[in-house]
Amino acid sequence: MRSHRQGTSLLHLDSSASGRRDSVTRRLTARYADVWRDLHGSAGYRYRDLAAEPVPLVSPAFVSLGVRVERHGSVPLPKVAELAEGPAEEREWALTLPLITEVRAARTVLLGVPMYNFSVPASLKAWIDRVTFPGAFLDGGTGDRLLRRTTVVVVTARGGCYAPGTPREGFDFQTPYLRAYFTDLGVAPENLHFVHAEMTRASDVPALAHFAPLAADSLAAARTAVSALARLPAAHGGTAARTP
* Tens of pLDDT, residues 166-220: 888 899 999 999 999 999 999 999 999 999 999 999 988 898 899 899 999 999 9
What percent of the chain is predicted at pLDDT more than 70?
Answer: 93
Mean pLDDT value of segment 216-234: 93
Q: Does residue 163 lie in a domain region?
A: yes
Q: Does residue 243 lie in a domain region?
A: no
Predicted pLDDT of residue 163 = 87
Is 64 annotated to bind a ligand? Reply is no
Q: Does residue 91 lie in a domain region?
A: yes
Is pLDDT at 75 greater than 80 in this prediction? yes
Our count of domains for the chain comes to 1
Is 133 annotated to bind a ligand? Reply is no
Predicted pLDDT of residue 241 = 41
Neighbours of 41 (CB within 10 A): 11
Range with the poorest average pLDDT among 56-70, 71-85, 104-118: 71-85
Neighbours of 156 (CB within 10 A): 26
Domain with 158 in it: 10-230
Distances (CA, A) of 45 to 37, 196, 236: 8, 23, 19
**Strand locations in the chain (E):** 10-14, 45-49, 108-114, 151-157, 192-197
Burial annotation 173-196 (CB, 10 A radius, 16+ → b, else e): ebbeebbeebbebebbeebbbbbb
Q: Does residue 244 lie in a domain region?
A: no
In the chain, % helix, strand, coil (3-state, to 5) comes to 45, 15, 40
Is pLDDT at 73 greater than 90 in this prediction? no
Distance (Å, whole) CA 192 – CA 47: 19
CATH number of the domain residue 204 falls in: 3.40.50.360
Is pLDDT at 4 greater than 70 in this prediction? no
Candidates 52, 56, 53, 44; CA nearest to 23 is 52
Q: Does residue 1 lie in a domain region?
A: no
SS3 152: strand
Is 117 annotated to bind a ligand? Reply is yes
Predicted pLDDT of residue 139 = 85
Is pLDDT at 86 greater than 50 in this prediction? yes
Predicted pLDDT of residue 235 = 57
Over its C-alpha atoms, the chain yields an Rg (Å, rounded) of 19
Predicted pLDDT of residue 2 = 38
- 6 or 105, greater pLDDT: 105
Predicted pLDDT of residue 242 = 38
Q: Does residue 41 lie in a domain region?
A: yes
Q: Please give the DSSP secondary-structure letter assigned to residue 160.
A: S
Predicted pLDDT of residue 192 = 98
Report the length, in residues, of the chain.
244
Is pLDDT at 104 greater than 90 in this prediction? yes
**Mean of all residue pLDDT scores within the chain:** 91
Distance (Å, whole) CA 160 – CA 162: 7
Mean pLDDT value of segment 37-41: 95
Range with the poorest average pLDDT among 78-92, 104-118, 137-151, 168-182: 137-151
Predicted pLDDT of residue 238 = 38
Q: Does residue 239 lie in a domain region?
A: no
Is 118 annotated to bind a ligand? Reply is yes
Find the helix packing angle between 86-105 and 60-71, rounded to 10°: 70
Predicted pLDDT of residue 234 = 64
Predicted pLDDT of residue 74 = 81
Q: Does residue 237 lie in a domain region?
A: no
Is 211 annotated to bind a ligand? Reply is no
